[in-house]
Amino acid sequence: MSEPGRLRETAGAFLVLGLTSFGGPIAHLANFRRELVGRRRWLEDEDFSGMVALAQLLPGPTSSQVAFGLGFRRAGFLGAVAAAVAFMLPSAAVMVALGYGVAALGDVGDSGWLHGLRLAAVATVARAVWGMAATLCPDGIRRSLALLAAALLLWLPGTPVQVGIILACGLVGVLLFRDPGSAAGPPPPPARAHGVAAAALVAFVLLLVLLPLAARHSGSRALQVFDSFYRSGALVFGGGHVVLPLLRAAVVPRGWLGDAVFLSGYGAVQAMPGPLFTFAGFLGTAMAPGPAAWRLGAVALAAIFLPGFLLMGGAYPFYAALRARPWLRGAVAGANAAVVGILLAALVSPLGAENLRTAVDVGTVAVGIALLAIPRFPPWALVLLLALAGAWLPR
């Protein structure tokens, strides 16, 4: 396929994923795997899980960073940008539009259709855990690592523990799985990619250091917003809901927005597909009066996603270049087992614990899992069916 063809294919695939991926970052990753590993065969489970592990070790929005890395792997730098923008665009556009009508937002947090969307996310993650475990945990040692990782995360939840588990399992992999299998891994990037990657890492640090100084001395509202949202995106591990306290601290104490508006937008973004970081678009738009408010929303969106993309763009080329070395392949084998355990823990809590409230919920998820087992069953159909089921079934 030609480069323009790959670029269009990448943008189209992630636009569909951005329209249909509900349920938070773990569910997003499950959808990525189903579409790109299972249906399109762009990469193998081993490579996909290695990219997930890399994103888990970096600050920023995990699922969006994986989208960026997958786009880079498929169609180079432009593919990375296309994948990331296409994945966030549907949710970002709706959240910016809602920023113009904050008074019309209601509390959708307990809506039946939203509960149905969450049940679809549970089914999607359950199917992904089963498929990834079969591929990435082929022996007793790796199955044991995955189960231990899940148990430890359920006992001590939190991003630091998650990062520690990935590193510890990677070390076990170095000792026990120095050359598992014969997969070649992702193709090494061109030599010039290392220079671009180094520049991305330098840019990440310089912006983190210099933006507060520039915002303080310039008096520019847009620069102050960019600085606040950039730091929120740069300093959070785990993404998703973890960024919300940072965003509230950035906008509410300064008087840019009140708590009522902040919480209204938070309720709305949970009903959106795609990354929760698009909440920034709502906040930026809501704090800027007038018809051009979308511009500040765009500034907030660019700022909160940029650090995660700089880090992923800086780290992935070096990871891909080293991927064929036996010790790193062993580390990735161990880290892959940890990723399976992390997904399993997330399936149990919070996804299962918060959403499987009744026997009807359990049965609905079981039906969803069975539908996903049909090879060509489209994920958007599952989203639609379970949203309708959530709206009509007793709870």
- pLDDT value at position 108? 52
The answer to whether the beta carbons of residues 277 and 239 sit under 8 Å apart is yes
CA nearest 263: which of 278, 279, 250, 277? 279
Q: What is the DSSP string of 182-199?
A: ----SPPPPHHHHHHHHH
**Which tokens hold the place of 190?**
């061109």
Q: What is the DSSP string of 69-114?
A: HHHHHHHHHHHHHHHHHHHHHHHHHHHHHHHHTGGG----TT-HHH
- pLDDT value at position 183? 47
Report pLDDT digits (tens) over 209-236: 999 999 988 889 999 999 999 998 998 7
How many CB atoms within 10 Å of residue 147? 17
What average pLDDT does this structure show over 352-379?
Answer: 88
Q: Rg of the Cα trace of the chain?
A: 21
- Give the least confident one: 156-160, 169-173, 263-267: 263-267
Task: Examine residue 350 and say whether the peptide bond preceding it is cis (omega within 30 degrees of 0).
Answer: yes
Question: Is residue 356 helix, strand or coil?
Answer: coil
Its pTM stands at 0.80
Element (H, E) at 328: helix 326-346
- pLDDT value at position 282? 94
The answer to whether the beta carbons of residues 46 and 40 sit under 8 Å apart is no
pLDDT bracket for residue 333 (50, 70, 90): confident
- pLDDT value at position 381? 85
Long-range contacts of 171-174 (CB under 8 A, 24+ apart): 171/331, 171/334, 172/145, 172/334, 173/330, 173/331, 173/332, 173/333, 173/334, 173/335, 173/337, 174/327, 174/330, 174/331, 174/334
- Give the least confident one: 140-144, 257-261, 363-367: 257-261
Tell me: pLDDT of 376 over 80: no
The answer to whether the beta carbons of residues 310 and 77 sit under 8 Å apart is no
Helix 259-269, helix 62-100: angle, nearest 10: 120
What average pLDDT does this structure show over 191-211?
Answer: 89
What average pLDDT does this structure show over 66-77?
Answer: 93
Dist. CA 184–CA 88, nearest whole Å: 31
Q: What is the DSSP string of 160-184?
A: HHHHHHHHHHHHHHHHH-SS-S---
- How many Cα atoms within 13 Å fall on the side-chain side of residue 284? 31
Find all residues with CB under 8 Å of 240, minimum gap 6, and list them: 24, 25, 61, 62, 275, 276
Dist. CA 303–CA 154, nearest whole Å: 33
Q: Sign of torsion, CA 48 51 55 61? A: negative
Between these two residues, 305 and 393, which has the higher pLDDT value? 305
How many CB atoms within 10 Å of residue 241? 15
- pLDDT value at position 185? 52
Report pLDDT digits (tens) over 267-302: 778 778 899 899 999 999 999 878 889 999 999 999
Residues of the chain above pLDDT 70, percent: 91
- pLDDT value at position 249? 84
Dist. CA 302–CA 96, nearest whole Å: 13
Dist. CA 66–CA 251, nearest whole Å: 28
Please give the DSSP secondary-structure letter assigned to residue 36: I
Report pLDDT digits (tens) over 112-128: 777 887 788 888 888 88
How many CB atoms within 10 Å of residue 178? 15
The answer to whether the beta carbons of residues 14 and 35 sit under 8 Å apart is no
Task: Supply angle C-alpha 147, 153, 157, rounded to 5.
Answer: 170
Residues of the chain above pLDDT 90, percent: 43
> How big is the chain, counted in residues?
395
- pLDDT value at position 118? 79
What average pLDDT does the chain have?
Answer: 86
First and final C-alpha spacing in the chain: 49
CA nearest 174: which of 330, 50, 46? 330
Tell me: pLDDT of 103 over 50: no
